[in-house]
Amino acid sequence: MHRRQRGNSRLGAYCWALTATLSGCSATELVQNGTLGPAPDLSQPNYQRIVADNLTTIFPNQSVLGDLEISGVRPVDHLKGPAWLTCLKLDAHGKPQHYAIFIQQNKIIDWRTGVIMDHCPAESYQPFTPSAKQDKLPR
């Protein structure tokens, strides 16, 4: 009986050591291969133009948008690295909805329906008319 217990404890110790060793190798590989490359351009983008230029991609059915408003832009941490966040508020037939739009290196890298951590409802908004904004903003 003692031999069996001693064998089981040795096996357990061996498994634990193997697991610790392999997890260390995995972590090392993640650190080595998880480099982000060159730092993204963190200068403030012309976010209104970028959003206006990509509005049909974000909202393919333009007829359901209603009135649009846009917030200012602010830096945030995104899964793809440092980015800028602007919020769009649309009045979809009397039901205001918020959308978070993430910009990195003057390109939209992600968008979604606004969630609590985006703080879109707390933002200040101004009217956003994409065609008028495109004419007034420099490239």
> Which tens digits make up the pLDDT trace of 51-73?
999 999 998 887 777 889 999 99
How sure is the predictor about 87, in pLDDT bands with cuts at 50, 70 and 90?
very high
Token pair 């403030």 is at which residue?
A: 44
pLDDT at 127 over 80: yes
pLDDT at 113 over 70: yes
Strands (E), 1-138: 68-78, 81-92, 95-104, 107-113, 125-127
Supply φ then ψ for residue 84, to 5 degrees. -110, 145
Q: Which residues of 57-81 are buried (b: 16+ CB within 10 A; e: fewer)?
A: eebeeeeebeebbbbebeeeebeee
pLDDT number for residue 4: 55
pLDDT at 32 over 80: no
How sure is the predictor about 26, in pLDDT bands with cuts at 50, 70 and 90?
very low
pLDDT at 125 over 60: yes
Closest C-alpha to 71, from 27, 127, 19, 33: 127
The mean pLDDT value of the chain amounts to 77
The amino acid sitting at 62 is Q
The answer to whether residues 73 and 44 touch, using CB atoms and an 8 Å cutoff, is yes
Q: What is the pTM of this model?
A: 0.65
Q: Any long-range contacts for 34-42 (C-beta under 8 Å, 24+ apart)? A: 36/81, 39/82, 40/81, 40/82, 40/83, 40/104, 40/105, 41/105, 41/106, 42/75, 42/82
